[in-house]
Chains A and B, each alone.
Chain A
Amino acid sequence: MVDISSNFVGIKSPNPFWLASAPPTDKQYNVERGFEAGWGGAVWKTIGNPIVNVSSRYSSIDFGSKRMVGINNIELISDRPIEVNLKEIKSVKKHWPDRAVVASLMVESKKEAWHDIVKRTMDAGADGIELNFGCPHGMSERGMGSAVGQVPEYVCQIAEWVVEVSEIPVIVKLTPNISDITYPALAAKRAGAHAVSLINTINSITGVDLDSFVPRPIVGNASSHGGYCGPAVKPIALNMVASIASHPDMKDLPISGIGGISTWRDAVEFMLLGASNVQVCTAVMNYGFRIVEDMIDGLKNWMEQKGFKKLDDFIGLSVGKVKNWGDLDLNYKVVANINQDKCIKCGLCYIACEDASHQAISYFKDKYTKKYEIIEKECVGCNLCQMVCPIQDCITMEQRNIGAPYMNWAMYQEQNK
């Protein structure tokens, strides 16, 4: 039996799957339904002075028939009074003592305001606090959200105000709308925050309506840039998580991974790259709370198959495998191979290589047959053909030993001086 229980900076949950601060966690009703479905924890929808939202709030991009590959929102923080949210947190915590309930907070950048809300949150019995320094729209114009998150000094300052009064763990949620994510992360650490969570949404415009010429989401005859999330942002989030996890000064800083997680596979990838737990928003907005069932089930089966007994057995395993380009072996060589028995002759590998790579696939055709073959001496091992091939394991990348030892860029330069 594998144990998937999680302990994130002292906050315990039966599994590492938390609901991210967003509409699925904006009230007791939702959070309890999420817990019934099996979610291990929830970060409450950001609480602060109640705001007013516009109608028409989300837009998304589709790819082919796949809907919502990425979604964008122009919603602000909770539109309900602080005391209502805190009362509900208290009630949820009472009914669900084994689940993690973390309050996401955002108030104006004044010490007293932060002290006040932190104390009230502790009184409500929350397990921890997440500081929303990430929201890239609306709140930032009021000097909050990413307006804070984009300036490491502000991050440090506000986190300090919170840490100095908080008796529960403090997590700083980072905005990805910044050139180097390690700066605000280091600032959070300097302030004494217990952990960081990332990513919040990415500044975006998803598209423009071709009839009215108004970008989406359409609010009357205008739109506004919003925050992007969902499957499309996963690679960006993974890189940011990895760059904090592998930073020499943040090796011990716990990370809650967020951004485009839809399946147990995505979650495992975040954890391999250093996240201790994960948070999910878009996938739930797309399919409902029920998706957690396969996340739990799939994670357990994978751990069992790999022989991992607990989460710590694999968290961070891949961190050391992200290197600088300059450390990579220039003498490592792979070439593509097409399994002729599996090939369905769609020609996609051929045209991709011919028009966009190294003309390393030959095409033979007569009245009866078609054949696509790799011209090995032209193949640089770019993987493109393998990626465009619609058939599982039809094109494989095979290693070739070129009989030369490890050589990185610096060694290469040295040799070719």
Chain B
Amino acid sequence: MTRRIVPKLSKEEYEKNFSDVKPPLSKDAALLEANRCLYCYDAPCIEACPTHIDIPSFIKKIATNNLKGSARVIMESNIMGGTCARVCPVEILCEGACVYNNIKEAKPIDIGRLQRYATDYIFENNIQLFKREKDNGKKVAVIGAGPAGLSCAHKLSMLGYQVTVYEKKDKAGGLNLYGLAAYKITNEFVEKEIEYITSIGGIEIKYNQEVGKNVDIQDLLNSYDAVFIGIGLGKTPKLNIPGEELEGVYDAIQFIENLRINPLEKVSIGEVVAVIGAGNTAIDAATQAKRLGAKKVYIIYRRTQNEMPANIYEYNLALKDECEFLWLTNPTKIIGDTFVEAIECIRMELGEPDSSGRRMPIPIKNSEFLLKVDTVIKALGQISYTNFLTKIQGLELDKGRIKVNPETMQTSIPKLFAGGDCINGGKETVNAVQDGKLAALGIHKMIFS
């Protein structure tokens, strides 16, 4: 039995709530901002970008109206420059490093939106900046068509490889399509970018192919010159509390995937929602629940704001959407017959630092209380595909993450390379893109030297 889905909002409200949180810059705004850039020498923003885009250079090109050149500078370093422009946590990366932060009360350059301005230009004008080199006769298999896999595939194809991508789902994009918040990026853009990446040729994506299930990784290792794994991470771990199986309890990843691939009015959301966890995923789930029409959204976290893993930008988004944070609170029980009716929580206090260096939350005896909610969204991070990974003979893991050489992305199996969330435990899109790029270069180096 499932809950009946009644659209909560009008079409216009859905559109408004899920429109760009960072709308594109107009030409005038872009020029004003581009001209404000100091064009620093050895600029800290370049270093802060995991893909090391030459930011002052692409901004200078915007100022001279050389948009094609600007987009080239961006995308040579980061083939998903368009996505990253929209979704990167710029506050803690490039913009956080801008020297303007060193001037009291001055604002850093709006690098993310300038990057979008330059990359939008080539998508809107259908300008292909890249050309694949002559086929070099080598073949590589890529597992997973997320940012890591696609970035790796693009670079390899550029270098002349024939690439076959094995993707579990029926669409490419990974979390670009299923995970990123809908108010940051549209499916239409994700598809356009993937089309852009694959249109240089030499890349074949095989859909509905789950390696470890209908494809054997040993076969791939035997029949290809190299294999890249970019499978990302799996579900959210279980809470292990009573009532977790009730109707109305969701995994944040599934909840977001659902709203990314279905029409918004078809997405089920209750009136009062409790999101468990305070990472970026938790915030994305909370804000989108609110934007779907939930009346009240709690974000329940067992530690305090100081320990919260979400970054400041995401945190502010949640405040703007009027989500309520319940700090030092831990769920103990979900209550209901078939459907969720309430959640029982207990108050916590901070004790001694634990292995993560953060102070350990300890329950305060007899401080349980009830919150009336009809939806619970679990957002405790994602667990890695240990079932699949541990079966690969000779592959070394570290806490479920694939161990790699950080320069070449080579794993303990010489022909096997890896990158993205499956090696770092879940970082950002931009890290996955960089890993994929480095792995392609690592593979090239292994094969040709």
Q: Is the CB of A64 within 8 A of B99?
A: no
For window 184-236 of B, CB contacts with A under 8 Å fall at none
Asked if A65 lies at the interface with its beta carbon under 8 angstroms from chain B, I say yes
Q: Is the CB of A65 within 8 A of B100?
A: no
In angstroms, Cα B103 to Cα A348, docked, is 15
Q: Is the CB of B102 within 8 A of A345?
A: yes
Q: Is the CB of A65 within 8 A of B31?
A: yes
Whether A347 touches B35, Cβ cut-off 8 Å, given contacts A64-B63, A391-B103, is no
Q: Is the CB of A350 within 8 A of B102?
A: no
Please tell me which one of the listed residues B32, B40, B102 contacts residue A348 in the complex, with CB atoms under 8 A apart: B40
Please tell me which one of the listed residues B35, B39, B41, B100 contacts residue A350 in the complex, with CB atoms under 8 A apart: B41
Whether A346 touches B99, Cβ cut-off 8 Å, given contacts A64-B63, A351-B41, A365-B42, is yes
Q: Which residues of B contact A348 (CB under 8 A)?
A: 38-41
A332-354: contact bitstring with B at CB < 8 Å (1 yes, 0 no)?
00000000000011111011000
In angstroms, Cα B309 to Cα A34, docked, is 61
Asked if A390 lies at the interface with its beta carbon under 8 angstroms from chain B, I say yes
Please tell me which one of the listed residues B42, B100, B102 contacts residue A347 in the complex, with CB atoms under 8 A apart: B42
In this complex, the member of B31, B43, B102 whose beta carbon has the largest number of chain A beta carbons within 10 angstroms is B102
Q: Which residues of A contact B32 (CB under 8 A)?
A: 65
Q: Is the CB of B43 within 8 A of A347?
A: yes
Whether A65 touches B40, Cβ cut-off 8 Å, given contacts A344-B100, A345-B99, A391-B103, is no
Interface SS of A by simple majority: loop
Asked if B44 lies at the interface with its beta carbon under 8 angstroms from chain A, I say yes
In angstroms, Cα B109 to Cα A344, docked, is 14
Of the four ranges (under 10, 10 to 19, 20 to 34, 35 or more), the interface on chain A belongs to 10 to 19
In angstroms, Cα B35 to Cα A64, docked, is 5
For window 387-405 of A, CB contacts with B under 8 Å fall at 390-391
Q: Which residues of A contact B16 (CB under 8 A)?
A: none
For window 98-120 of B, CB contacts with A under 8 Å fall at 99-100, 102-103
Please tell me which one of the listed residues A65, A344, A346, A391 contacts residue B41 in the complex, with CB atoms under 8 A apart: A346
B74-109: contact bitstring with A at CB < 8 Å (1 yes, 0 no)?
000000000000000000000000011011000000
For window 338-381 of A, CB contacts with B under 8 Å fall at 344-348, 350-351, 363, 365, 370
For window 53-77 of B, CB contacts with A under 8 Å fall at 63
Interface SS of B by simple majority: helix
Q: Which residues of A contact B38 (CB under 8 A)?
A: 346, 348, 390
In this complex, the member of A344, A363, A365, A390 whose beta carbon has the largest number of chain B beta carbons within 10 angstroms is A344
In angstroms, Cα B133 to Cα A188, docked, is 73
Q: Which residues of A contact B3 (CB under 8 A)?
A: none
Asked if B131 lies at the interface with its beta carbon under 8 angstroms from chain A, I say no
In angstroms, Cα B43 to Cα A348, docked, is 10
Asked if B36 lies at the interface with its beta carbon under 8 angstroms from chain A, I say yes
Q: Is the CB of B102 within 8 A of A65?
A: no
Task: Look across to chain A and name the residue whose beta carbon is closest to the beta carbon of B63.
Answer: A64
Please tell me which one of the listed residues B35, B42, B63, B102 contacts residue A344 in the complex, with CB atoms under 8 A apart: B102
Task: Look across to chain B and name the residue whose beta carbon is closest to the beta carbon of A66.
Answer: B35
Q: Would you give the shortest CB distance from B113 to chain A, in whole angstroms?
A: 16
For window 11-49 of B, CB contacts with A under 8 Å fall at 31-32, 35-36, 38-44
Whether A65 touches B42, Cβ cut-off 8 Å, given contacts A344-B100, A344-B103, is no
Q: Is the CB of B41 within 8 A of A347?
A: yes
In angstroms, Cα B42 to Cα A65, docked, is 24
Q: Which residues of A contact B39 (CB under 8 A)?
A: 348
In angstroms, Cα B43 to Cα A346, docked, is 7
Q: Which residues of B contact A350 (CB under 8 A)?
A: 41
Q: Which residues of B contact A346 (CB under 8 A)?
A: 38, 40-41, 43, 99
Q: Is the CB of B99 within 8 A of A65?
A: no
Q: Is the CB of A347 within 8 A of B63?
A: no
In angstroms, Cα B41 to Cα A370, docked, is 12
Q: Which residues of B contact A365 (CB under 8 A)?
A: 42
In angstroms, Cα B39 to Cα A348, docked, is 8
Q: Is the CB of B103 within 8 A of A347?
A: no
Q: Which residues of A contact B63 (CB under 8 A)?
A: 64
Q: Is the CB of A345 within 8 A of B103?
A: no
Q: Would you give the shortest CB distance from A28 to chain B, in whole angstroms?
A: 37
Q: Which residues of A contact B35 (CB under 8 A)?
A: 64-65
17 interchain pairs, CB-CB under 8 A: A64-B35, A64-B63, A65-B31, A344-B99, A344-B100, A344-B102, A345-B44, A346-B40, A347-B41, A347-B43, A348-B38, A348-B39, A348-B40, A348-B41, A351-B41, A365-B42, A370-B42
Known contacts A345-B102, A346-B38, then 17 further A-B pairs from the complex at CB < 8 Å, ordered by chain A residue: A64-B35, A64-B63, A65-B31, A65-B36, A344-B99, A344-B102, A344-B103, A345-B40, A345-B44, A345-B99, A346-B40, A347-B40, A348-B39, A348-B41, A350-B41, A390-B38, A391-B103
